[in-house]
């Protein structure tokens, strides 16, 4: 009789042990995965903040060509390069007064072949002080390769479907894929 009870206890303890080892990875995931996710999220935020701290871009020139187009020159004076292939992640917003006195403000989309009524495209890039690009050249106008590197300037062509009053000027807001924003008027 004592032998049977001991065997039952051994079997129960063995089953509990097997169940514990089987569930231990699930228990570990329940308790520690949220901590690892938070650490990963904090690391990602820190990387993004560092990326923003190393970014410095300014609009060097805003030149109105006529009542429906302008040329903008932007300079990358920071330490971060931007992939030309991510051109759709750049935001270019314009604000101007049209010929009827109404204020127009809208986001232009990248359009390599000027096929839309309004848009923008990069028409040239060069290293500051040079007439060409030294590092990671971009393939114009499609921008499927290359980088906008530090110490490089890009020349942007902008066009609008609603003509502007050129005497009242144009404001351009340029936001990079990492969220850095610069603006200028001309």
- Same domain for 28 and 113, yes or no, is no
Contacts of 178 (CB under 8 A, 6+ apart): 48, 51, 52, 55, 80
Q: What whole-number distance in Å separates Cα of residue 182 and Cα of residue 143?
A: 22
More confident residue, 168 or 11: 168
Closest CA to 74 of 154, 146, 172, 128: 154
The region of weakest confidence among 7-11, 50-54, 56-60, 103-107 is 7-11
- Same domain for 81 and 157, yes or no, is yes
Reported confidence tier of residue 13, pLDDT bands at 50, 70, 90: confident
- Same domain for 66 and 127, yes or no, is yes
Phi–psi pair at 124, nearest 5 degrees: -160, 155
- Same domain for 94 and 45, yes or no, is no
Chain-centre distance of CA 182, in angstroms? 14
Q: How many domains does the chain have?
A: 2
Q: Domain holding 109: CATH number?
A: 2.60.40
Summarised one tens digit per residue, pLDDT across range 16-40 is: 777 777 766 676 666 666 655 666 6
Interval 46-55 mean pLDDT:
78
Summarised one tens digit per residue, pLDDT across range 103-143 is: 999 999 999 999 999 999 999 999 977 777 878 999 988 99
- Same domain for 101 and 164, yes or no, is yes
Q: What whole-number distance in Å separates Cα of residue 55 and Cα of residue 17?
A: 56
- Same domain for 147 and 82, yes or no, is yes
Reported confidence tier of residue 74, pLDDT bands at 50, 70, 90: very high
- Same domain for 97 and 38, yes or no, is no
- Same domain for 35 and 76, yes or no, is no
pLDDT of residue 97 exceeding 60: yes
**Run of H or E residues at 28:** helix 2-53
- Same domain for 84 and 108, yes or no, is yes
CA torsion, points 112, 116, 183, 52, in degrees to nearest 10?
-50
- Same domain for 5 and 28, yes or no, is yes
Q: Which domain holds residue 137?
A: 57-185
Summarised one tens digit per residue, pLDDT across range 158-181 is: 999 999 999 999 999 999 999 999
Q: What whole-number distance in Å separates Cα of residue 178 and Cα of residue 175?
A: 8
- Same domain for 80 and 66, yes or no, is yes
């Amino acid at each position: 009789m004592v032998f049977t009870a001991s065997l039952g206890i051994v079997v129960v303890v063995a089953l509990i042990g097997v169940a514990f080892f089987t569930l231990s990875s699930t228990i570990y995931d329940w308790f520690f995965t949220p901590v690892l996710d938070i650490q990963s999220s904090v690391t990602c935020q820190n990387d993004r903040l560092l990326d923003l701290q190393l970014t410095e871009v300014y609009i060097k020139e805003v030149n109105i060509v006529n009542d429906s187009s302008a040329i903008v020159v932007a300079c990358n004076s920071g330490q971060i390069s931007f992939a030309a292939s991510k051109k759709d992640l750049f935001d270019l917003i314009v604000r101007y007064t049209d010929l009827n006195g109404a204020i127009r403000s809208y986001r232009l989309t990248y359009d390599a072949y000027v096929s839309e009524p309004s848009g923008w495209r990069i028409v040239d890039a060069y290293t500051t002080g040079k007439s060409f690009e030294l590092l990671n050249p971009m393939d114009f106008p499609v921008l499927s390769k290359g980088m906008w590197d530090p110490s490089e300037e890009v020349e942007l062509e902008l066009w609008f479907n609603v003509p502007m009053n050129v005497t009242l000027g144009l404001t351009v807001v340029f936001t990079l894929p990492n969220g850095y924003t610069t603006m200028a008027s001309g």
